Homo-oligomer: A and B are copies of this chain.
Amino acid sequence: MHDPNPGLDRLTTPCLVLDEARMTRNIRRLAAKAEALGVTLRPHLKTAKSVDVARRVLTGGSGPATVSTLAEAEVFAAAGVQDILYAVGIAPQKLPRVLELRARGCALVILIDSLAQAQAVAEAAQAAGQPIPALIEIDSDGHRGGLRAGDPELIEIGRRLHDSGAELRGVMTHAGESYGVDGSAAHAVFAGKERDATVAAARALREAGLPCPVVSVGSTPTAHAAEDLSGVTELRAGVYMFFDLVMAGIGVCDTNDIALSVLTTVIGHQHDRGWVLVDAGWMAMSRDRGTAAQTVDQGYGVACDLGGRIYPDLIMRQANQEHGILALRPGSTERLPNLPVGTRLRILPNHACATAAQHDRYHVIPEDGSGALMEWNRFGGW
């Protein structure tokens, strides 16, 4: 018989487990969706922070890709990724690192949403005598940064970039508020907002005689729900490759699609309280409680056996630094499974980006069924 967990019983716990078969299925699903929509997929590598994952998720070895830190840009550029969008508004102090990456051959594009940044970018480009291409961030849902599509400052910023030799590359948005609504129809509304806001901004720039080749949108919920991306050139998403309980809770995936879990060992019980104590606390799971505001609160995660089968209603109800307390959900009629000290379990995480960030490597269950676990490094920092 095929062993579904080659070596999981020999790992030091807690540790991070990645199910390659699920990841591949998730990667293919969004790649097919982007193709059907007629847009380029620019995967966000901030969830994975792993060169091994990047090799599997990027359609070409050299990109396109999205990152959330310059440390990611530097690591992925060194691994051969050449087409990178750094999708967090630039701090002027970071421009020397941007220039250095570009000088080393990485076609790095940055993000701005203010005249102050446009001025800093223009000055850095002029001083260096080389362009620094930038997208202008558009606010499509009030989530965080960005200009409204009709803001007259948009044209001013575009002109400042264009006239200075910095290079106006286009516009982008991220409907982060889509994480807060449930179901494909609701996500499609946000996908429409992303498209409408960026296409309107692109039109405004072009009508002012400015270039706007790139129109970039995306989040995992909106990417999967989008129906028509006319006028959009590229789609970004990150957590779709692993998925998590937050995404399952709003209907973007099923819990059986979640590729990431934390391996843990039972270290004790409080029988009269119905508690099973494990050696994965918030240090291994992260403090993310993203399902707390959802219809079903999953605590710090959902407990599965070594083969990935969910124990009905068994969740991590509380977490200390290195202790997790598993118990049945409030009101459950299930029976607590017998899990003696030393039993190994896997916990599905609320938020893949946050949980993965607590670990320095993935222990990968290979999809080819070859048996031996692989180890893929991941990195952090800025």
Contacts and interface: CB of A to CB of B under 8 A. Distances in A.
Q: Which of A88, A268, A273 has the most CB of B within 10 A?
A: A268
B116 A340 contact: yes
Given A341-B117, A342-B120, A91 B325 contact: no
A322 B68 contact: yes
Q: Which of A117, A289, A358, A382 has the most CB of B within 10 A?
A: A382
Contacts of A12: 93-94, 97, 382
A284 B321 CA distance: 17
Contact of A277 (B46, B89, B120, B359): B89
A321 B91 contact: no
A68 B287 contact: no
A166 to B, nearest CB: 15
Interface string A113-150: 11011001000000000000000000100101100000
Interface residues of A, number: 61
A78 B270 CA distance: 35
Contact of A116 (B97, B145, B176, B342): B342
Nearest to A46: B321
A140 B353 CA distance: 36
Interface string A354-372: 1001111000000000000
Interface string A172-212: 00001000000000000000000000000000000000000
A234 interface: no
Q: Which of A12, A139, A269, A340 has the most CB of B within 10 A?
A: A12
A206 B325 CA distance: 31
A220 interface: no
Contacts of A89: 267-268, 277, 279, 323
A221 interface: no
Interface in A254-296: 265-270, 273, 275, 277, 279, 282-284, 286-289
Contact of A114 (B90, B176, B268, B381): B268
A144 B323 contact: yes
A170 interface: no
A144 B316 CA distance: 13
B93 A265 contact: yes
B360 A358 contact: no
B277 A354 contact: no
Contact of A145 (B268, B288, B381): B268
Interface in A288-324: 288-289, 318, 320-323
Interface string A87-118: 01111111001000000000000000110110
Contacts of A14: 382
Q: Which of A68, A273, A318 has the most CB of B within 10 A?
A: A68
A85 to B, nearest CB: 13
A17 B369 CA distance: 46
Interface string A5-27: 00000001111000000000000
8 contacts: A15-B382, A46-B321, A68-B322, A88-B279, A144-B277, A145-B268, A145-B323, A283-B357
Interface of A: 12-15, 46, 68-69, 88-94, 97, 113-114, 116-117, 120, 139, 142, 144-145, 176, 265-270, 273, 275, 277, 279, 282-284, 286-289, 318, 320-323, 325, 340-342, 351, 353-354, 357-360, 380-382
